[in-house]
Structure 1
Amino acid sequence: MKGIFYLSALLITYGSLYPFNFSGLGEHHLWNELMQGWNGRSHIGDILGNVILFIPYGYFGMFSFRRKRLLKVLISGLVLALVLQLFQVYLPSRDANIRDVWWNLLGTLVGIVGARIPFLRADRLLARHQQLEVFPLLVAASWIGYRLMPFVPSIDWQSIKNGLKPLLLNPQLSATNVLHDSVAWLVIALIWQSLKPPRWPDLMMWLAIPVLFALEVLVIYNSVSPSNVVGALLAAALWLGWMQHNPDRVRWVFLLLLGMLVINGLEPFELRSYDAEFHWIPFYGFLGGAMMLNTAVIFEKFFLFGAAIWLLLKLGVRLPVATLIMVMATLAIEMGQLLFDHHLAEITDPILIILIALLYRTLHQLREQQLPKD
């Protein structure tokens, strides 16, 4: 856990200070602009992004100190957030804002609270349920996180109507989105089948889909599209009519997932009319744009890549080999994006897969420690 804690601090620092083009070191008005941020208002997307950014720091920090853990994590999180904002004063590409320190501190607190809730702690879960697999639970949770970002419900009637407009007004289907959602729900069905209590019916998972759609409509900036509905219905039909009792269902779902990654990574298959550059800077595509959108993309990629690794492990592939397979597959897709327009070819996805594999290894080692010795 300590390694993941230090890695989270490193990633926070990297993402906050990129591209490290410091300037204006003698311009004191920049400090005035930073401190005047107390009086402004933050956009909901920026708030959520800054909170979520520090949740892993607070969570894994509680497992990384032996004494006075809460105090050390809080103070170190506050210092890190403050130092990053001070450095951002001299980054022209960054908007330093002192309010972000408090949102980062809130994220640290959320992580600390999460580390104290028994059902959110892998060690407590494994101590009580020694055969439980935590990793697929995280994969399923990331799918829910992707669908329900930014987690802010609203009972405003206009917001609800906006959430239903793509479904009821001028509905349009996207074949790639239908494929995306149907494969995702098949993965969720496999996770449900492998983890559900014996007495719970198989149909319960499919009955939960309308609940998720209803929650999406209630969450601001979210909506339900015809592709979402058709994708869920197609997955249910495939699972109940063919895959549920098929001994090769794991292999089929993995192949569908891999095919979906290729199609979504290269569509609309329009060849470039110019030479493109491969970006070797990690998380290049995440270092700009809206934090809320970037957070949703992280949830989605964790789900897709985590599911791929988990499926390969279910097929009997060892973790290093499964990691190598997915690194090579995503690297091939990124290289293919050099040929097709509307895409940004970068090294981020292979690095994400390695990080996800390291998380799986950490959770697996923790699970092995909790199993009774012969």
Structure 2
Amino acid sequence: MSPINSPHRFVYASFAAAAFILYGSLYPFQFHDASLIAAAQTLFLSHHLHDQPWSGLIANVVLYVPLGLFCVAAQDDARPAWRQVMFATAVGTALCLCVEMTQFFDTNRVTTITDIFPNVIGTLAGAALSLPLTRWLGRRVDVDTPARQTAALLLLSFLAYRLFPYVPTLDLHAYWRALKPVVVHPSVHAFDIASYGVIWVVAAALLADLVGRGRSRWLIVAVMPAVLSAKIVITHNHLSLSEIVALPIAAVGWRLLSALPRRAAGALLAGLLALVILGDRLLPFHWQSEAQDFGWIPFFSILHGSMAANTQALADKIFLYSSLVWLLAVAGLRHWFAVVLAAAGLFATSLIETHLPGRSAEITDAVIALGAAAVLSWLAASPTAAAARRRERRTCTTLD
């Protein structure tokens, strides 16, 4: 078994994924008395598939993908692949059955068997994805394997928030609606251009860690129109003229930035990304003397309101905060200090948001940063990463 594919790590990750599913499915944990037989009857006799929006179906699929992925990775490599996938799918099926039954006793929750199907599909998809992914993570490559793993993970989170809700459409009217803001009502905003530009440069930096700096300079130019074209054919998406204007600026900016040493480029890009996050959280800065309540319950606002908007917002935050921690570490800060700095900054801006109208001031953003940092730290502390660092030190000693 490969060092990075240690079952113990993925067992813990499987429990964490299950805990997240339980938290998101049963919140706010307001239960009432009822009959277990009535719960079973409701589960198997009720269906609301026609009332379920595409965003809800997709969210139910995506929610269970990590569980399937981690359950397969937690098993012994000696077992046949189909058994690993079937076991992970069985675990996901059992969990979603228990969740649906429990939701019958939870106020404001709906018990329906049609929710089980996308949950099982998500578990199966994660399990199938885990087989090639864990083999790729465990194979022997160059010294920078941990950097490649981190880059691949962050690029996936980038695509997750840029291409939500992932459902393509063949409706030509939908394509026109996606292009309409650019053609009929074109408008640009300086902060939006700066924000899109910095985010695309971060994506280019991640590509550099994945494929090399030289390749990233032309690959990012190919990825940009591909992502924008994908947005056009995905339902409920709209293009922004500000993002289109930002693309050539980002391409030129990365070409200049990639000529700098890695640590200097990371420090500069970390500062720019921090300014983007700060502006996104605090602008427009309309201070009001009376403060609203601070939310100490993690993910409170994400679990309320529009499922589609909240899912995309969560994916956006995961990418931005994870990338910030990664860039601070690239800039030379110790990992724990980068984590503390990012989480403290987000917590401070959340406190400031209590004085800004229309903001959800809560602890969620700091918690997301801590969770993202834990994943990045886990990759960096893997046996493969430690072995890579030892080989690098031996090489430097030999050269000296």
Letter in 2 for 1:82: L
1:58 to 68, 75, 79: 68
CA deviations 1:252-308 (Å, max 9, x no partner) are 111111111111011111223643111111111111223333322222112111111
Does residue 37 (structure 1) correspond to residue 37 (structure 2)? The answer is no
Unaligned runs of 5+ in 2: 1-9, 395-400
Q: Which residue of structure 1 aligns with residue 384 of structure 2?
A: 367
Separation of aligned partners in 2, 1:37 and 1:232: 48
Separation of aligned partners in 2, 1:217 and 1:13: 34
CA contact (8 A) 1:280 1:347 kept: yes
Q: Which residue of structure 2 aligns with residue 322 of structure 1?
A: 338
Does residue 167 (structure 1) correspond to residue 176 (structure 2)? The answer is no
CA contact (8 A) 1:269 1:341 kept: no
CA contact (8 A) 1:48 1:292 kept: no
Bigger CA drift: 364-373 or 332-341? Answer: 364-373
Unaligned runs of 5+ in 1: none
Q: CA deviation at 1:111?
A: 0.5
Q: Which residue of structure 2 aligns with residue 260 of structure 1?
A: 276
Q: CA deviation at 1:126?
A: 4.4
Q: Which residue of structure 1 aligns with residue 296 of structure 2?
A: 280
Query: CA 1:178–1:30 in 2, change beyond 3 Å: closer, same or farther?
Result: farther
Q: CA deviation at 1:135?
A: 0.8
Q: Which residue of structure 1 aligns with residue 4 of structure 2?
A: none
Separation of aligned partners in 1, 2:303 and 2:127: 26
CA contact (8 A) 1:46 1:290 kept: no
Letter in 1 for 2:75: F
Q: CA deviation at 1:4?
A: 1.5
Query: CA 1:25–1:171 in 2, change beyond 3 Å: closer, same or farther?
Result: same
Count of matched residue pairs: 370
Bigger CA drift: 88-97 or 313-322? Answer: 88-97
Q: What is the DSSP-based 3-state SS (H/G/I as helix, E as strand, rest coil) of the residue aligned with 2:73?
A: coil
TM-score (norm 1): 0.91
CA deviations 1:6-64 (Å, max 9, x no partner) are 11111110111111111252598776554443364222111100000000000001122
Q: CA deviation at 1:78?
A: 1.0
Separation of aligned partners in 2, 1:4 and 1:175: 41
Query: CA 1:96–1:180 in 2, change beyond 3 Å: closer, same or farther?
Result: farther
Separation of aligned partners in 1, 2:370 and 2:25: 21
Does residue 184 (structure 1) correspond to residue 194 (structure 2)? The answer is no
Does residue 243 (structure 1) correspond to residue 252 (structure 2)? The answer is no
Does residue 46 (structure 1) correspond to residue 56 (structure 2)? The answer is yes
* Percent identity between the two aligned chains: 25
Separation of aligned partners in 1, 2:182 and 2:172: 16
CA contact (8 A) 2:213 2:258 kept: no
Q: Which residue of structure 1 aligns with residue 308 of structure 2?
A: 292
CA deviations 1:73-129 (Å, max 9, x no partner) are 222211110111111112222233221111111110000000112xx23x5344142
1:228 to 229, 235, 243: 243
CA contact (8 A) 1:183 1:256 kept: yes
CA deviations 1:319-353 (Å, max 9, x no partner) are 11111111101111111101111210111111111
1:75 to 86, 90, 112: 90
Q: CA deviation at 1:363?
A: 1.9
TM-score (norm 2): 0.85
- 1:47-196 matched pairs, under 5 angstroms: 47-66=57-76, 69-117=84-132, 120-121=133-134, 123-130=135-142, 131-132=144-145, 133-196=148-211
CA contact (8 A) 2:17 2:66 kept: yes
Bigger CA drift: 27-36 or 149-158? Answer: 27-36
Separation of aligned partners in 2, 1:158 and 1:147: 21
1:352 to 344, 347, 368: 368
Q: CA deviation at 1:71?
A: 3.6
Does residue 337 (structure 1) correspond to residue 347 (structure 2)? The answer is no
Letter in 2 for 1:127: R
Separation of aligned partners in 1, 2:293 and 2:222: 46
CA deviations 1:191-246 (Å, max 9, x no partner) are 22333247736223123211211111011111211121122233223333x42323
Bigger CA drift: 173-182 or 28-37? Answer: 28-37
CA contact (8 A) 2:11 2:74 kept: yes
Query: CA 1:260–1:11 in 2, change beyond 3 Å: closer, same or farther?
Result: same
